[in-house]
Structure 1
Amino acid sequence: MNKKIAGLVLASALAGASGATFAETFTLHSPELEGGKFGNANLLSEPYGFGCKGGNISPSFTWSGVPAGTKSFVLTIYDRNAPTGVGWMHWVVANIPATAKGLPGGIDAQGKNLPAGALQPRTDFGVPGYGGPCPPEGSTHDFEITLTAVKVDALPMVTAEATPAFVGFFTKANSLGEAKLTIKQGR
């Protein structure tokens, strides 16, 4: 290839690249978790009987770089190290509207502060609503917080009585992408 043609090819490539639009990365953030740990306010409360004395208050979350075509979101908090053989689902929030840019802290089991249309199916505690972390004494667990962008306004057949596995099936079947945070929490 002669220098003239090589120069034209390079100039054409640079011109195309300069006009290109790059997609923003889908990210999840929580100001309460900036130190890489849940605060005492977010830990499980004493009435659950696992030995923690936290406030059991859900942290707030914000997100950006949402995939094109997103119609709703699903947020989960999962402890993959729970001594159950299958992990432990601490929180499930489904059908979060695509217009939402985050979730406020302090969403209770009755849905206070939950965006309109969103719902909290059951967790592994057997009830809807946030259940904070409480790893066994002397252990450190990895808590995976996942925000999934989905291509439907509402997950089919998912109600407040749905199990985490049922929600997970329809979430994965309709996923457009995920943003994750992993928190290492010990006690």
Structure 2
Amino acid sequence: MLRQILSLGVLLTTAIAAPAAAQGFNLTSTTVSEGETLTNTHVFAGFGCEGENQSPQLSWTGAPADTKSFAINVYDPDAPTGSGWWHWNVVNLPASTNSIGQNASLNNGLPSAAIEIRNDYGTIGFGGACPPPGEVHRYTFTVYALGTAQLDLPENPSNALVGFMIRANMLDSASLTAVYHR
């Protein structure tokens, strides 16, 4: 009988704790799905690619209570550069932000305080997928909860410096990874 009561107690504790553990910082999108192939909407227009070059819709929940701002980046670790490829870096999104709409890049819906960094195509804003022909690349979309309201960045910072500053101030992060090939 005591064993059954203890077992019931463990089951109840696990059932109560499981939803709390499952919650946390989470990133979702209505336009990009984990493990799925990106659509032409999120493909670059240039470098031999003929996409619409629109940034995706992104939503996040469960950020730490002491979050003071957010940053977003899109990174391709498979680019044949030795250092990957930065497709998008946005910093200084206010802590009140919990989503951005599709095609929000270049002042089409980002909060006014947000700053977009020059991507590895050499342009400001979102630069969509465009891997070399015949290669499948991963595109990791990450939202970072930061403990500072603004990142202290010089004018025209490199993506490596932005990544360093994001991680130096990061409280938590949430990601999803899609793929693309041509």
Which of the two has higher C-alpha Rg?
Answer: 1
Counterpart position of 2:147: 151
Q: Is the 8 A contact 1:27 1:180 kept in 2?
A: yes
1:128 deviates by 1.4
Write out aligned runs for 1:132-143 (5 A): 132-143=128-139
Output one character per residue of 1:129-185: Cα deviation in whole Å (capped at 9) or x when no partner. 0000011111100111111111000111255x1211111111000111110111121
- The one of 158, 174, 182 aligned to 1:179: 174
Residues 51, 175 of structure 1: alpha-carbon distance in 2 compared, 3 angstrom cutoff: same
Q: Counterparts of 1:39 and 1:19 in 2: how far apart (Å)?
A: 38
Q: Is the 8 A contact 1:158 1:167 kept in 2?
A: no
Q: Counterparts of 1:126 and 1:52 in 2: how far apart (Å)?
A: 16
Q: Counterparts of 1:180 and 1:20 in 2: how far apart (Å)?
A: 21
Q: Counterparts of 1:155 and 1:107 in 2: how far apart (Å)?
A: 21
Write out aligned runs for 1:12-31 (5 A): 22=20, 24-31=23-30
Q: Is the 8 A contact 1:44 1:131 kept in 2?
A: yes
Q: Counterparts of 2:16 and 2:26 in 1: how far apart (Å)?
A: 25
Q: Counterparts of 1:81 and 1:134 in 2: how far apart (Å)?
A: 11
Larger strand fraction of residues: 2
Write out aligned runs for 1:1-187 (5 A): 22=20, 24-34=23-33, 36-45=36-45, 48=46, 50-109=47-106, 111-157=107-153, 159=155, 161-187=156-182
The one-letter code sitting in structure 1 at the alignment partner of 2:51 is G
Residues 19, 126 of structure 1: alpha-carbon distance in 2 compared, 3 angstrom cutoff: closer
Q: Counterparts of 1:149 and 1:158 in 2: how far apart (Å)?
A: 21
The one-letter code sitting in structure 2 at the alignment partner of 1:38 is L
Q: Which runs of 4+ in 1 moved over 6 A?
A: none
Residues 21, 126 of structure 1: alpha-carbon distance in 2 compared, 3 angstrom cutoff: same
Residues 19, 113 of structure 1: alpha-carbon distance in 2 compared, 3 angstrom cutoff: closer
Q: Identity rate of aligned residues, in percent?
A: 39
CA RMSD of aligned residues (A): 2.9
- Structure 1, gaps ≥5 residues long: none
Residues 151, 52 of structure 1: alpha-carbon distance in 2 compared, 3 angstrom cutoff: same
For normalisation by structure 2, the TM-score amounts to 0.86
